[in-house]
Chains A and B, each alone.
Chain A
Amino acid sequence: MNIVICVKQVPDTETKIKVKDGQVDHTETKYVVNPYDEYALEEGLRIKERLEEGKLTLMTIGPERAKDALKSGLAVGADEAIHLVDEAFEGSDPYSTALILSKALEKIDYDIVCCGKQGVDEDHAQVGIILAELLDVPHVSVVTKLEIAEDRKSIVAHREVEGGHEVVEATLPAIITAQKGLNEPRYASIKGIMAVKKKVIPEWNAEEIGVDKDMAGLGAAKMKFTEVTLPPERVGGNVFDDDPVQDAVKVAHLLRDEAKVL
Chain B
Amino acid sequence: MSNNVLVVAEAQDGALKKIGFELIGEGKRIADKMGGLVEAVVLGHDVADILGPLGHHGAEKVYVADDPVLANYTAEGYGSVLARLIKETEPTLVLIGATTQGKDLAPRLAARLAVGLASDCTGFEVQDGEFYITRPIYAGKAIATVTQATRPYMATVRPNIFAPPEPDTSHDAAVENIPADIGDIRANVVDMMKEAGERIELTEARIIVSGGRGLKAPENFTLIEELAEVLGAAVGASRAAVDAGWKEHSYQVGQTGKVVTPTLYIACGISGAIQHLAGMKTSKYIVAVNKDPDAPIFKVADYGIVGDLFKVVPVLIEEFKKMKAEG
- A49 at interface (Cβ–Cβ under 8 A)? no
A94 touches B117 (CB 8 A): yes
With both chains docked as a complex, state the minimum distance between the C-beta of B294 and any C-beta of chain A, in angstroms. 11
Q: Check: B187 CB closer than 8 A to any chain A CB.
A: yes
Please count how many residues in chain A sit with their CB below 8 Å of the partner chain's CB atoms: 84
Using Cβ atoms and an 8 Å threshold, which residues of chain B touch A24? 137-138, 142
The answer to whether B323 touches A17 (Cβ under 8 A) is no
**What mask results when residues 197 to 209 of chain B are scored 1 for a CB within 8 Å of chain A, else 0?**
0010101000100
By a CB distance below 8 angstroms, the chain A residues around B203 are: 162
Query: Which residue of the partner chain, among A234, A245, A256, contacts B281 with CB atoms under 8 Å?
Result: A234
Using Cβ atoms and an 8 Å threshold, which residues of chain A touch B107? 94, 125-127, 129-130, 133
Given contacts A19-B142, A240-B304, contact A139 B187 (CB under 8 A): yes
A251 within 8 A of B: yes
Nearest CB in chain A to that of B79: its residue: A133
A238, B287: Cα distance in complex, Å: 10
Contact A244 B249 (CB under 8 A): no
Please measure, in the bound complex, the distance between the C-alpha atom of A244 and the C-alpha atom of B191, giving whole angstroms.
48
One of A80-88, A103-111, A192-200, A219-227 at the interface: A219-227
* Across-interface contacts of A169 in B (CB, < 8 A): 187-188, 190
A190 is an interface residue with CB less than 8 A from chain B: no
A225/B143 contact (C-beta < 8 A), A162-B201, A245-B311 known: no
Using CB atoms, name the residue of chain A closest to B99. A162
In this assembly, does A51 line the interface, its C-beta being within 8 Å of a C-beta of chain B? no
Chain A residues with CB below 8 A from B185, complex form: 138
Instruction: Flag whether A229 is at the interface (Cβ < 8 A).
Output: yes
Q: Which residues of B contact A14 (CB under 8 A)?
A: 274
Q: Judge whether B37 is part of the interface by a CB distance below 8 angstroms.
A: no
A44 at the interface (CB under 8 A from B): no
Task: Flag if B193 contacts A261 (CB, 8 Å).
Answer: no
**Contact indicator A248/B312 (Cβ below 8 Å):** yes
Residues of chain A contacted by B301 (CB below 8 angstroms): 236-237, 239
- B307-323, CB under 8 A of A: which get 1 and which 0? 11001110110011001
B137 touches A248 (CB 8 A): no
Looking across the interface, which residue of chain A has its beta carbon closest to that of B278?
A: A13
Count CB-based A-B contacts (< 8 Å). 265
For the complex, is A28 an interface residue (Cβ under 8 Å from B)? no
A188 at the interface (CB under 8 A from B): no
A222 to nearest B CB, angstroms?
3
**Cα-based distance from A223 to B89 in the complex (angstroms):** 22
Name the residue of chain B whose CB is nearest to the CB of A248.
Answer: B315
Residue of B nearest to A157 (CB): B187
Q: How far does the alpha carbon of A129 sit from the alpha carbon of B281 in the complex, in Å?
A: 29
In the complex where A239-B298, A244-B308 touch, is A162 in contact with B303 (Cβ < 8 A)?
no
A142 touches B104 (CB 8 A): yes
Is the Cβ of B117 less than 8 Å from the Cβ of A223? yes
Does any Cβ of B come within 8 Å of A140's Cβ? yes
| Pick from B144, B190, B264, B284: contact of A122, CB under 8 Å | B144
- B interface majority secondary structure: mixed
Q: Which residues of chain A are near B231, meaning CB under 8 Å?
A: 262
Least CB distance, A65 to chain B, in whole angstroms: 18
Q: B325 near A: Cβ within 8 Å?
A: no
A222-B138 contact given A142-B100, A259-B285, A261-B264, CB 8 Å threshold: no
> Is A123 touching B120 in the complex (CB atoms < 8 A)?
yes
The one of A16, A165, A223, A255 in contact with B146, judged by C-beta atoms closer than 8 angstroms, is A223
A185: min CB distance to chain B, Å: 13
Determine whether the beta carbon of A230 is less than 8 Å from that of B190. Answer: no
Tell which of B145, B150, B190, B311 touches A167, judged by Cβ atoms closer than 8 Å. B190
Query: Is A121's CB under 8 angstroms from B137's CB?
Result: yes
Q: Assess A248 versus B189: contact at CB under 8 Å? Given A160-B249, A261-B285.
A: no
Note all chain B residues with C-beta closer than 8 A to A256. 323
Residues of chain B lying within 8 A (CB to CB) of residue A179:
249
Q: Are A224 and B303 in contact (CB under 8 A)?
A: no
Interface status of A73 (Cβ within 8 A of chain B): no
The reply to whether B303 and A238 contact each other, CB–CB distance below 8 Å, is yes
Separation of A124 and B98 alpha carbons in the complex (Å) = 11
Give Cα A141–Cα B252 distance, bound, in whole angstroms. Answer: 18
Instruction: List residues of B (168-197) whose CB comes within 8 Å of A's CBs.
Output: 185-195
Q: Is the CB of B315 within 8 A of A163?
A: no
In angstroms, Cα B303 to Cα A262, docked, is 15
Closest chain B residue to A159, Cβ basis: B100
Let me know if A133 and B147 touch, CB within 8 A: no
User: Chain B 119-155 against A: per-residue CB contact (8 Å), 1 yes, 0 no?
Assistant: 1100000000000100111111111111111100000
Question: Measured between alpha carbons, how far is A130 from B119 in the docked complex, in Å?
Answer: 13
Additional pairs, 15, CB under 8 Å, beyond known A161-B100, A162-B12, A244-B307: A129-B108, A140-B187, A163-B195, A164-B194, A165-B192, A167-B190, A223-B116, A223-B117, A223-B149, A231-B143, A238-B302, A240-B305, A249-B315, A256-B323, A262-B320
20 contacts between A and B (CB under 8 A): A16-B141, A36-B256, A94-B117, A120-B139, A122-B137, A123-B137, A125-B103, A133-B79, A133-B107, A139-B187, A163-B13, A180-B249, A180-B256, A224-B116, A231-B140, A245-B315, A247-B307, A254-B303, A256-B323, A262-B320
